[in-house]
Structure 1
Amino acid sequence: MLINANSPLNTVIGVVLRGLAVLSLVGVVVMWFLAVRRVKTGRAEPIAVPGQAAPMFSRGYWLVVVAEAVLLFGGIALLRSWGRPEQTNVAWIAFVVGVHFIVLAPVWKQSGIAVPGVVLTLLGVIGLVLAATSAVAWVPFVSGVLSGVSLLAGCLTFSWRGLASLTPRDQVAEA
């Protein structure tokens, strides 16, 4: 988002978007540290994830990561060899990252991560279509900035919910 919030956007809008992106990222990091601190100091219990979660770094995870790397770099090389505009790379990256989230949902047994996956995949497809038109200059905004906004909004939302749902230790002892 920081890189793609440029022309054809108005300069002021680009600066505001980059500022909001940095503030959002700082907010997510601060909420993470607050949650960890509350759990480590014994003031709260960790959040129970609904359903049975799979191990994060399983064989399936690594297969997805390897496939993603091959698709990202191979796809960008292929787009370059076809003479596609450089902006097409942003759309391709959004598409591959979106598909990566969709594929990871069943691997991690967490269907919620498919939602940003679908959003990013769609923004990538829209960008790929735009790249073939005279609106190619808008691809970084659609596939880059809007993807970043989607991911940061999701991170902020789930960080806030997670922090707010930490069960205070004294309530756990009473139950």
Structure 2
Amino acid sequence: MTGQNDNRRLSGLMIGSLVALSFGTVFVMVNSADLPAPWRLVIRVVALLIAAVLLVRLFRTERAVAPTRESDIRGFADRRYWYAVLGEIIALFGGLYVINGVLKKPEVAVAWVVIVVGVHFLPLAWAWRLPLFYWVGGVMTVLGVAGFLAYAAGASAGTVGLIAGVGSGFTLYAAVLMGIRDAHARARRPDRNVV
């Protein structure tokens, strides 16, 4: 089937959603490993089903929704994006070195990763004018802090992984769903079709 969108580049919705679905699935799969049976399997199956449904909806949305008009947002070419990524890399590996190498507390490594990833969404929300990223960054940061607090209260590594890691995976799935919903809402209001 041919259509008006066949030869255009992938949209920001498509690229961002594919990244979110990938990282969300990794967060869930890796951080559910320490959970007891049957919960580990149940959470993983539910996550894979959600990811598959979202992927189908994403491709349908990409085909059905007209591309947005050009804007001054430069995406990955934006210098602010690369500053955010550089800060994320430094904070991520520096913090993991301290947590794993100095403090010898690998149980909270995922909580640190989630905080860093969450915080990195905040400058991207500003640079790309994506209010959804404020929500994603805020929720992930709170989940990371909650993972640290749970550990301080005596929670196991599995519980920390469930709160910070699995919670963040499902947060990324929710972000994809909200992005799809927003794309459909913009398509119904062509006068506001600017990113």
The TM-score with structure 2 as length reference comes to: 0.72
Pairwise CA distance, 1:80: 1.4
May I ask how many residue pairs the two structures share in their alignment? Answer: 160
Pairwise CA distance, 1:108: 1.1
- Tell me the equivalent position of 2:14: none
Aligned-residue identity in percent:
32
- Tell me the equivalent position of 2:107: 87
More displaced stretch, 73-82 vs 61-70:
73-82
Structure 2 residue 72 is the aligned partner of structure 1 residue 46: no
User: What does residue range 67-78 of structure 1 map to in structure 2 within 5 Å?
Assistant: 67-78=87-98
Distance in 2 (alpha carbons) for counterparts of 1:119 and 1:92: 14
Distance in 2 (alpha carbons) for counterparts of 1:55 and 1:150: 25
- Tell me the equivalent position of 1:145: 166
SS of match in other structure, 1:105: helix
Runs of 5+ unmatched residues, structure 2: 1-27, 189-195
Task: Call closer, same or farther: CA 1:87–1:53 in 2, change over 3 Å.
Answer: farther
- Tell me the equivalent position of 2:193: none
RMSD: 2.4
The TM-score with structure 1 as length reference comes to: 0.79
Distance in 2 (alpha carbons) for counterparts of 1:89 and 1:165: 39
More displaced stretch, 125-134 vs 110-119:
125-134
8 Å contact kept, 1:53–1:110: no
SS of match in other structure, 2:41: helix
Q: Which residue of 1, 16, 25 corresponds with 2:42?
A: 16
Task: Call closer, same or farther: CA 1:35–1:122 in 2, change over 3 Å.
Answer: same
Task: Call closer, same or farther: CA 1:160–1:105 in 2, change over 3 Å.
Answer: closer
Distance in 1 (alpha carbons) for counterparts of 2:79 and 2:173: 28
Runs of 5+ unmatched residues, structure 1: 39-43, 168-175
Distance in 2 (alpha carbons) for counterparts of 1:159 and 1:11: 33
Distance in 1 (alpha carbons) for counterparts of 2:88 and 2:136: 16
- Tell me the equivalent position of 1:55: 74
- Tell me the equivalent position of 1:170: none
8 Å contact kept, 1:24–1:156: no
Q: Show CA shifts across 1:66-86 (max 9, x none).
A: 110111111101111223321
Q: Show CA shifts across 1:27-78 (max 9, x none).
A: 222222222333xxxxx523569xx662212000001011101111111011
- Tell me the equivalent position of 1:4: 31
Distance in 1 (alpha carbons) for counterparts of 2:72 and 2:166: 31
8 Å contact kept, 1:85–1:131: no
Q: Show CA shifts across 1:131-171 (max 9, x none).
A: 3342133110110011111111221233245357645xxxx
Which amino acid in 2 is paired with 1:128? F
Pairwise CA distance, 1:125: 0.9
